[in-house]
């Protein structure tokens, strides 16, 4: 697949947005695997839950763990896109967002190779970008549909904050990628959120030589 055909135009560099990156059956399969994980696999943050696969990133280095087979096939699918400049994905962060939940403006920081790829399952959301300055003037909004993949790199990764607004619904008429989406969305008609599970697949450069079985 040539990802350059999926580049979102007229925004700072660079976002690729691929609708229907996975099928409905694959989405159902992924949600079943995530929701069936044992309770200790979940880490609870202020109202949200997440899972780490491949290891837990740390400034001193990630202790690598074997990627489960159900997830490895999607890591490979992202790797085949060659969007990580020759690096191979070795970490997956699974986030669960209930309707109404979001995440504050932030950057992913230096623990990761400066490209992030995310598969959305279960619900849409809207990813917002703002300049990483005191003014934090907004730059763009991206609609993340169910079963889509978004790739964020270059200046939008390093120089901009990204966030998800805490809301039960989204009005998407000003999203920059509507021309790339799988469906047409009526202007000013709200989209209601439900529970979303995101799989963020990326490369952690600093990995320790020891392994956990």
Domains and CATH numbers, the chain: 16-202 (2.60.120.590)
Confidence of residue 176 (pLDDT cuts 50, 70, 90): very high
22 vs 45: which has the higher pLDDT:
22
Confidence (pLDDT) at 93:
97
Confidence (pLDDT) at 211:
63
Residue 213 has pLDDT above 60, yes or no: no
Residue 126 has pLDDT above 90, yes or no: yes
- pLDDT > 70: what percent of the chain? 98
Whether residue 172 contacts residue 185, with contact meaning beta carbons closer than 8 Å, is answered with yes
Confidence (pLDDT) at 212:
58
Residue 151 has pLDDT above 70, yes or no: yes
- Which among 181, 160, 147 has a CA at the least distance from the CA of 31? 147
Strand partners, 196: 97
Confidence (pLDDT) at 210:
73
Residue 21 has pLDDT above 80, yes or no: yes
Residue 47 has pLDDT above 80, yes or no: no
Confidence (pLDDT) at 202:
97
pLDDT mean across residues, the chain: 94
Residue 97 has pLDDT above 80, yes or no: yes
Three-state secondary structure readout of the chain? CCHHHHECCCCCCCEEEECCCCCHHHHHHHHHHHHCCCHHHCEEECCEEEEEECCCCCCCCECCECCCHHHHHHHHHHHCCCCCCCCCCCEEEEEEECCCCCEEEECCCCCCCCEEEEEEECCCEEEEEEECCCCCCEEEEEEECCCCEEEEEHHHHHCEEEEECCCCEECCCCCCCHHHCCCCCCCCCCEECCCEEEEEEECCCCECCCCEC
Distance CA 97, CA 193 (A): 10
Distance CA 105, CA 134 (A): 12
pTM: 0.95
Whether residue 203 contacts residue 91, with contact meaning beta carbons closer than 8 Å, is answered with yes
Whether residue 96 contacts residue 197, with contact meaning beta carbons closer than 8 Å, is answered with yes
Mean pLDDT of 39-50: 90
Residue 16's CB is within 10 A of a number of other CB atoms, namely 21
Residue reference for tokens 């996975």: 22
Confidence (pLDDT) at 92:
98
Please give the structure tokens belonging to residue 51: 């899972």
Residue 177 has pLDDT above 90, yes or no: yes
Confidence (pLDDT) at 65:
95
Confidence (pLDDT) at 87:
95
Confidence (pLDDT) at 133:
84
């Amino acid at each position: 697949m040539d990802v350059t055909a999926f580049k979102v135009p007229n925004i700072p560099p660079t976002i690729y947005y691929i609708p229907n990156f996975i099928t409905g059956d694959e989405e159902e399969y992924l949600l079943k695997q995530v929701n069936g994980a044992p309770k200790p696999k979940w880490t609870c943050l202020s109202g949200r839950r997440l899972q780490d696969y491949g290891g837990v990133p740390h400034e001193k280095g990630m202790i690598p763990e074997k990627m489960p087979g159900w997830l490895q096939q999607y890591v490979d699918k992202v790797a085949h896109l060659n969007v990580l400049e020759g690096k191979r994905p070795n970490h997956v962060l699974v986030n669960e967002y209930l309707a109404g939940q979001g995440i504050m403006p932030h950057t992913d920081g230096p623990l990761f190779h400066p490209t992030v790829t995310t598969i959305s399952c279960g619900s849409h959301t809207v990813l917002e970008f703002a300049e990483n300055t005191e003014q934090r003037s907004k730059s763009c909004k991206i609609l993340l549909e169910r079963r889509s993949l978004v790739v964020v790199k270059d200046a939008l990764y390093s120089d901009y904050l990204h966030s998800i607004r805490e809301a039960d619904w989204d009005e998407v008429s000003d999203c920059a990628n509507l021309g790339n989406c799988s469906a047409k969305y009526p202007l000013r008609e709200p989209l209601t959120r439900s529970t979303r599970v995101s799989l963020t697949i990326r490369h952690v450069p600093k990995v320790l030589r020891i392994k956990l079985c």
